[in-house]
């Protein structure tokens, strides 16, 4: 019998309101028992993992992940992307459809699912495009995509500008009970902006990207969700106005939801002006947290690793995103993991592609900004990585209920470490957080009852069964 016993961990399962010290018994890839002492129920030869002093929770889910394969494997592959996910503590990822070719037909869906089954180390859930070539002009065969196994539809990386097409997509998708995820960007307002429109874009002479460019589409989505009754999930929200609009809509029971990314609730547009500008202005709160632990990281002005879509915004916007996470307006935290080749980022800021990697720092940044600052309890934070994305995306994950898939994350919320580029599992290195001192670290990722990654620097102690006690 395939079994594993996790001994005396701090088990946190928001789906079942469980927050206690307990043993977790896994058998045949499923959760078999969670009790104060499960050793008596374990097979004699069941391996044991000592997780005392560590947190054990449902496997974390990243609901916004760019896999890059097929077609862009120089940036990331299924093997490297899922390895980075496991290292970050994630056991499930939801990949976006802006690959080459676009995920717009059953053949591409089958290709990704088959390759993920062979080469991936975590669960890979596939989304399909809303429109062909994600051009926003003609609907894809959504019914066929659903039959092929997609878990949601989205044109992420692009945004449908034609409101009539978006409306018809929402009406059509109701027949298939698929979530609709939307990248909120009004092209006519954003035009060719490359960073948040404000003080720093003016000082640096870079084309501004107004927050209204996001807020306009959030408002559109709220109106269309109200009109059609179809749930719309607004991705990677970054602006204070977006959070306010979403909060008011949810109070009226409009079927909308939203997510936030760690870079948007950690950094601001001052980071584009370099580390000196950031630490002296908007980064003073982080400086207070980390200044005594390690030397503060430094980076130059115009560093393209701080260029993402949507862009880093003002301190006011950052605080609004945090408030939205705390009051439940934003239910999900995701990485928007967007790997790029180094040569693509090593150009002038105007010409560099948008996007950063994020799977390996997502958990730590969230713990630091939300848990260690006492803004969220640990169960409330973990819920944003587990039960909430599972519910919105209709995934049979995010819980430690008996009989559920044995996907678990083991983490130490208090471990201090430095994010080292040499230790990254991703194929790309476009992260702004190399050299940063982090607090909180994944220690192991378990998928289907198998340990797919374990921290080798401080490995968990293991044993080979009950006889070890003698």
Instruction: List the structure tokens of 188.
Output: 């006519």
Active-site residue 414, yes or no?
no
DSSP string across 286-325:
HHHHHTTTSPPP---TT-GGG--SSPP--HHHHHHHHHHH
Q: At what angle do helices 315-326 and 240-251 cross, to 10 degrees?
A: 30
120 vs 59, 69, 125, 148, 447, CA distance in Å?
Answer: 15, 12, 11, 19, 11
Round to whole Å and give the CA distance between 222 and 425.
38
Q: Under a CB-based contact definition with an 8 Å cutoff, are residues 365 and 419 in contact?
A: no
Phi and psi (nearest 5°) for 235? -85, 155
Handedness of CA 426, 127, 179, 209 (dihedral sign): positive
- E strand intervals along 96-253: 123-128, 152-154, 180-182, 195-196, 208-209, 232-234
Cβ pair 148, 205 in contact under 8 A: no
Question: What is the distance between the alpha carbons of residues 405 and 26, in angstroms, rounded to a whole number?
Answer: 9
Q: Which of 336, 405, 407, 455 is catalytic?
A: 336
Query: CA-CA-CA-CA torsion for 366, 371, 376, 379, nearest 10 degrees?
Result: 90
| Residues 289, 266: Cα–Cα separation, whole Å | 12
CA separation for the pair 228, 408 (Å, rounded) = 37
CA dihedral 69, 382, 10, 419 (to 10 degrees): 50
> Residue 68 is encoded by which pair of tokens?
């890059």
Structure tokens at 226: 């109200």
Distance CA 235, CA 260 (A): 7
Q: Give helix then strand counts, H and E, for the chain.
A: 16, 19
CA distances from 430 to 27, 112, 426 (A): 39, 24, 10
The phi and psi torsions of 10 (rounded to 5 degrees) equal: -85, 95
3-state SS class at 137: coil
Q: Which residues are catalytic?
A: 336
């Amino acid at each position: 019998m395939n079994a594993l016993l996790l001994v005396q961990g701090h088990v946190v399962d928001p789906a079942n309101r469980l927050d206690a010290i307990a043993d977790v018994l896994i058998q045949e890839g499923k959760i078999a028992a969670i009790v104060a002492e499960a050793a008596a129920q374990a097979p004699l030869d069941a391996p044991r993992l000592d997780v005392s002093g560590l947190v054990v929770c449902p496997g974390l889910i990243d609901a916004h992940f760019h896999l890059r394969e097929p077609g862009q494997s120089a940036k990331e592959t299924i093997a490297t992307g899922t390895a980075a996910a496991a290292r970050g503590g994630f056991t499930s990822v939801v990949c976006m459809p802006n690959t080459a070719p676009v995920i717009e037909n059953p053949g591409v869906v089958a290709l990704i699912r088959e390759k993920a089954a062979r080469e991936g180390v975590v669960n890979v859930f596939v989304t399909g495009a809303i429109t062909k070539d994600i051009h926003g002009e003609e609907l894809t065969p959504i019914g066929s995509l659903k039959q092929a196994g997609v878990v949601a539809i989205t044109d992420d990386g692009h945004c449908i500008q034609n409101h009539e097409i978006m409306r018809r997509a929402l009406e059509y998708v109701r027949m298939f009970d698929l979530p609709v995820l939307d990248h909120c960007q009004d092209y006519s307002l954003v035009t060719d902006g490359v960073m948040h429109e404000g003080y720093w874009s003016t000082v640096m002479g870079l084309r501004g990207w107004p927050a209204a460019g996001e807020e306009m589409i959030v408002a559109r989505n709220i109106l269309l969700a109200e009109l059609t009754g179809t749930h719309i999930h607004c991705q990677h929200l970054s602006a204070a106005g977006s959070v306010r609009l979403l909060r008011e809509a949810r109070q009226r029971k409009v079927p909308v939801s939203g997510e936030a990314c760690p870079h948007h609730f950690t950094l601001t547009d001052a980071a584009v002006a370099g580390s000196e500008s950031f630490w002296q202005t908007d980064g003073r709160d982080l400086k207070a947290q980390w200044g005594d632990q390690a030397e503060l990281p430094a980076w130059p002005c115009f560093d393209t690793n701080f260029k993402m879509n949507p862009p880093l915004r003002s301190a006011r916007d950052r605080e609004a995103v945090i408030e939205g996470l705390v009051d439940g307006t934003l239910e999900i935290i995701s990485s928007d993991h967007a790997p790029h080749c180094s040569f693509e980022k090593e150009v002038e800021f105007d010409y560099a592609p948008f996007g950063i990697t994020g799977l390996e720092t997502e958990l730590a940044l969230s713990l630091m900004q939300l848990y260690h600052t006492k803004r969220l309890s640990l169960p409330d934070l973990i819920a944003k990585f587990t039960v909430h994305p599972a519910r919105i995306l209709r995934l049979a994950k995010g819980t430690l209920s008996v009989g559920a898939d044995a996907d678990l994350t083991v983490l130490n919320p208090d471990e201090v470490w430095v994010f080292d580029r040499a230790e990254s599992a991703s194929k790309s290195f476009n992260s702004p957080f190399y050299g940063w001192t982090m607090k909180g670290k994944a220690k192991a990722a378990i998928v289907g009852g198998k340990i797919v990654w374990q921290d080798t620097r401080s490995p968990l102690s293991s044993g080979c069964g009950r006889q070890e006690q003698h």
